[in-house]
Amino acid sequence: MGEQLAFKDVFSDVTRKATKIPAKEYQPKGINPIIDQGQSAIAGYSDIRDGLFMDVPAIVFGDHTCAIKYADTPFFIGADGTKILRQVRNDNLRFLFHALKYYAANLPGSKQYTRHFKWLKECSFIIPDYEHQCQIAESFDTIQDEIALAEQILARADELIQSRFVEMFDSQPTCALLDFCDFYSGGTPSKKNPEYWDGSLPWFSPKDIKSPMLWDSIDHVNDEITERTNLKLIPEDTVVVVVRGMILAHNVPVAIVKTAATINQDLKAMIPKREYNAVFLASALRNQEKMLLAETGQSAHGTKKLDTDVLGSVAVPNVPLAIQNEFAEFVTQVESLKATTRQQLDRLNTLYDSLAQRYFAQ
């Protein structure tokens, strides 16, 4: 089992030994890393040499965010809410790191932006002998390495699709998106009529556009809604894009609806004028995301919006359907790899959490 010890008998707060760098002085590149309480492993860089925290490895705790990080190279810290912890005894710091991750996630208000260090200092810890600490830490580290690899595969998979798109179509002639398809905007049935919202027909809105393929929505409407209102049914394999919402400040969500459905007024559906592959068209839109973001406007209410004229001007490679299908087959293979990797990632995260519960719960 192990010895139960108070926080002060396990950890030493050595924050005072570190130099704090204001956020406005962070650099995107530099010699020395800056670690703050945000979720990113490294918040920025500084070329300053004096005042670097050298007593590494060390654990960094975010007072407001409960973020836990392991720093094994000298660093600076952010100016607010960043705590540096070292072990008091000769304990395995990787073991303590994983223990702190568990405790931090279960602190009162851990999901809220408030100060948590006061709560962490009230925790007690079950500390086994050093040999068992090393064994436990190794188990967690192995799982964490596999999680990092899976996340890296997912990140690079999307880059691979975009690279393949450029490789196949960058030198091809193009035409405007409006030559490929017409645009349809949906609507929101009256909330005053409960019958409109009593059904199983998918009604997609921006909150649903979280993955490349969509089979179902959060909200549903009456199966006869298209007969009772002006709302139209879009066919399966329709490409939709978000054209209004604050999400457009950061990215332009695009997806393929894989079932007959309805959409709200913040989405636009691509209704084909000629035969095309939906996977190809969705990738063509994603490939132009930077241009679309640059042309995103703002409504009178301050909400971001993408005008139809801008969307219609998107350059789409004007290539035969057979070549579109060839690209789509490549995307299908990559998406299959992503699905398998996500399943593996879910299993690894579940395993990590179950082991944390086993070793650290009291």
Domain count, the chain: 3
Gap between the Cα atoms of 6 and 9, Å rounded? 5
CATH assignment of the domain containing 24: 3.90.220.20
* Same-domain check for residues 306 and 360: no
pLDDT digits (tens, 9 = 90+) for 190-238: 999 999 999 999 999 999 999 999 999 999 999 999 999 989 999 999 9
Domain of residue 307 covers 173-318
| Spatial distance between the Cα atoms of 317 and 172, rounded to a whole number of angstroms | 6
Of 127, 156, 187, which closes a domain? Answer: 127
Task: List Cβ neighbours of 313 (8 Å cut-off, separation of 6 or more).
Answer: 176, 177, 178
Write 132-138 long-range contacts (CB < 8 A, 24+): 132/2, 133/91, 133/92, 133/95, 134/92, 134/95, 136/95, 136/98, 136/359, 137/92, 137/94, 137/95, 137/97, 137/98
**132 belongs to a structural domain:** no
What distance in Å separates the CA atoms of residue 311 and residue 270, rounded to the nearest whole number? 11
The pLDDT value given to residue 112: 59
Tell me, yes or no, whether 178 and 301 share the same domain: yes
Does 290 lie in the same domain as 234? yes
pLDDT in tens, the chain (362 residues): 688 999 999 999 999 999 999 999 999 999 999 999 998 999 999 999 899 999 999 999 999 889 999 999 999 999 788 999 999 999 999 999 999 999 998 887 656 566 789 999 999 999 999 999 999 999 999 999 999 999 999 989 989 999 999 999 999 999 999 998 999 999 999 999 999 999 999 999 999 999 999 999 999 999 999 999 989 999 999 999 999 999 999 999 999 999 999 999 999 999 989 889 999 999 999 999 999 999 988 776 778 999 999 999 999 999 999 999 999 999 999 999 999 999 999 999 999 999 999 999 87
Question: How far is Cα 267 from Cα 239, in angstroms, rounded to an integer?
Answer: 10
Query: What is the pLDDT at residue 111?
Result: 60
| Domain co-membership, 297 together with 335 | no
- Specify the DSSP class assigned to residue 13: E
Verify that 196 and 115 share a domain, yes or no.
Answer: no
According to the 3-state scheme, what is the secondary structure of 205-253?
Answer: CHHHCCCCEECCCCEEECCCHHHHCCCCCECCCEEEEECECHHHHCCCC
End-to-end CA distance of the chain: 11
User: If you search the block for the tokens 């998107």, which residue do you land on?
Assistant: 314
Q: Is residue 301 part of a domain?
A: yes
133 is a domain residue: no
